[in-house]
Structure 1
Amino acid sequence: MKEIIIRETEAGQRLDKFLNRCLPEAGKSFLYKMLRKKNIVLNGKKAEGKELLKCGDSLKFFFSEETMRKFSAAPAGEYPVLDQKYVLYEDEDVLIVNKPAGMLSQKAEQSDVSLAEYLTGYLLKEGAVTSEGLRVFQPGVCNRLDRNTSGIVLSGKHLAAARELSLMLKQRTMKKYYLCLVQGTVQETRRIAGYLRKNPKTNKVTVSDLPAEHASYIETCYEPAAWYEEGTLLKVELITGRTHQIRSHLAYTGHPIAGDVKYGNRKYNQRFEKAYGLRRQFLHAWQVVFPEMEGIFKNLSSKTITAPLPDQLERLLEQLHRQESLHEKS
């Protein structure tokens, strides 16, 4: 017999889903059969599988050790560890980090190493999760950024926190701001809307003013933060959150992001690469503003989390500012 006591990081999920994660090689029909026969019991009683687990609940498996090993997931392997310098905020429930450009948020291929693996390694090192706990809850990201976009990524340290963060993102109860450098001069604050359609074969989207089949409504708000001869630094509020929304929406308005090879202007990008060494899109998830909250997120209530610009982007702006100053003096 083996007993598992449900911890806070595992609470809030259905019993059958927990069993599927705990014994992934067993199969659903086998697990339901074991529940019916009371070979798996919850708090000493027969269970159906739809019960929501609570912290402190007891699960008993009347299996042999050999059977448990046969159906269990393989032990957690080695994970890379996220450098502490990328951590923006951390408490017992939430981890907020500043993702560097060039890193995937989540795996695209099985062989990929993404931010999710770095977060897991960091939490294992800090003792916030255990190798055994990874069988039933795998830390991950709640919001995704493109590989070459840097900035704020949110992660829950346990299931309840991850679910709550994902719900806040879905319901848009937190405000998300980005910084980007775009081609041309933008002098007014605008709130723009349109319709975005994704081509899954090319992983590219198109934007239009009118509704279309399989197109999603999008809304983006931006205001100029600084003007340069080479372009405009925009502060962008993401109202809706669709794939490549900021990049494609701004390009559609005639102001593509510097360094964006997919939606940008090739000559503009080449000029920035030659003059400033820019080989990524100048797009940074800069700030998140949380609403008033209670419960597990009370420490984040009304808090603003800011991710400083990467050194390369900061230096680029400084160069643009110096050149602009010299231009003004002459």
Structure 2
Amino acid sequence: MRELIIQGNDANQRIDKFLMKYINQAPKGFIYKMLRKKRIKYNNKKAQGNEILQVGDKIQLYLSDETIIQFQQNTLLQLSPVPKTFQVIYEDKNILVCNKPSGLLTHPDHPNQTNTLLHQVIYYLYQKQEYIPEKEQGFVPGVCNRLDRNTSGLIIIGKNLLTLQEINALLKQQKIHRYYMAIVKGKLYHDGKLTGFYSKNRNQNKGQVYLKPSKKSKPIETLYHPLQVGADCTLLEVQLVTGRTHQIRVHLSSIDHPIGGDPKYGDQQWNQYLYQQYKVSNQLLHAYKIKFPSTSGHLYYLSEKEIVSSPPTIFQQIIS
């Protein structure tokens, strides 16, 4: 029998959610089966799985050490030394806001990847002794908002569970405002509001916007504001209202103002010109500003705070 004592980064979540992190390779069905068979107990009583954990609570696992080890991913694998290519824009005891360079994945998309933003951040916090896996019971610092591989800009990292929960809730409620800079084909002189209904082709990993809803579509909304108009392109400030996959890219493409360098939704002839003239090989899209709402919660000190990151210098070279 193994007994776990709930710590700060384990509390304020359901038992089943905690167990899915602690034995993160175990199938959900296995965890619920062990709960039903009373092989997992909560404070020495039968656990239902939906109890909310508090600091000091105890969970008893009536499982062999071999079974537990079998179902635990070795988090030390994520601590292999990796070069730090992100820039720290803002940091405190709860959050890290970093500038992700274009070309770097936010999360690993297969188990063998060892150099993503998440790997770099975990190793960075480990070096600072702000994340010590031996003292945790499944918690790992996490990314709150993700960016496409070839989009640069601001990403929020939660250093503890309470922060992750609060930031994710604010994002889900659309209370954290996210702004991007993009260089698009053609000239736009006035502010715009784009709406529609979004669906994703999972086989092609490609989104599409429709005027009318369908059974699987979701509402989509994007705002834009021209910052500077060039000879054949416009520098836009774009605000995400909803947050669908490739939202800004597909929405601007749908009004015939695709983002420069975008291989999936862009104008291939213009992309070729941008590559020949400026060596642009990815979409000219940068997540440049995050604005927090007024809040009285755990992150009260971030109320109405704005965090800004300048776009890559190539943006000004092209628009000028």
| TM-score, normalised relative to structure 2 | 0.87
- 2:289 is matched with which residue? 287
Aligned to 1:296, the other structure's residue is in SS state coil
More deviation in 195-204 or 8-17?
Answer: 8-17
- 2:244 is matched with which residue? 242
Residue pairs, 1:20-169, within 5 angstroms: 20-23=20-23, 27-28=30-31, 31-32=34-35, 36=38, 42-43=42-43, 47-60=47-60, 69=69, 72-74=72-74, 76-77=76-77, 78-81=79-82, 83=84, 86-112=87-113, 113-132=115-134, 135-169=137-171
* Count of aligned pairs: 315
More deviation in 296-305 or 109-118?
Answer: 109-118
Distance 1:143 1:228 in 2: 31
Q: Deviations over 1:146-177 (max 9, x none)?
A: 11001111221122221221111111011111
Q: 1:213 to 1:233 in 2, by over 3 A?
A: same
- 2:229 is matched with which residue? 227
More deviation in 135-144 or 218-227?
Answer: 135-144
More deviation in 269-278 or 101-110?
Answer: 101-110
How far the C-alpha of 1:80 sits from its partner, in A, is: 4.4
- 2:307 is matched with which residue? 305
Aligned to 2:196, the other structure's residue is in SS state strand
* Unaligned ranges ≥5, structure 1: 322-330
Q: 1:256 to 1:19 in 2, by over 3 A?
A: closer
Distance 1:75 1:221 in 2: 40
The answer (yes or no) to whether the contact 2:10–2:137 under 8 Å persists in 1 is no
Q: 1:309 to 1:134 in 2, by over 3 A?
A: farther
Q: Deviations over 1:83-137 (max 9, x none)?
A: 3861222222222111111111222222234222222222222222222356512
Distance 2:237 2:51 in 1: 46
- 2:269 is matched with which residue? 267
Aligned to 1:162, the other structure's residue is in SS state helix
Distance 1:168 1:202 in 2: 30
How far the C-alpha of 1:47 sits from its partner, in A, is: 4.3
| TM-score, normalised relative to structure 1 | 0.85
- 1:12 is matched with which residue? 12
How far the C-alpha of 1:81 sits from its partner, in A, is: 4.7
- 1:208 is matched with which residue? 210
How far the C-alpha of 1:7 sits from its partner, in A, is: 1.8
Distance 2:147 2:307 in 1: 16
Q: 1:45 to 1:148 in 2, by over 3 A?
A: same
Distance 2:194 2:61 in 1: 56
Q: 1:196 to 1:30 in 2, by over 3 A?
A: closer
- 2:183 is matched with which residue? 181
Aligned to 2:76, the other structure's residue is in SS state coil
The answer (yes or no) to whether the contact 1:105–1:146 under 8 Å persists in 2 is yes
Distance 1:295 1:14 in 2: 20
* Unaligned ranges ≥5, structure 2: none
Distance 2:94 2:18 in 1: 20
Larger radius of gyration, structure 1 or 2?
Answer: 1
How far the C-alpha of 1:186 sits from its partner, in A, is: 0.5
Q: What amino acid does structure 1 have at the position aligned with 2:317? A: E
- 1:317 is matched with which residue? 316
Distance 1:307 1:122 in 2: 20
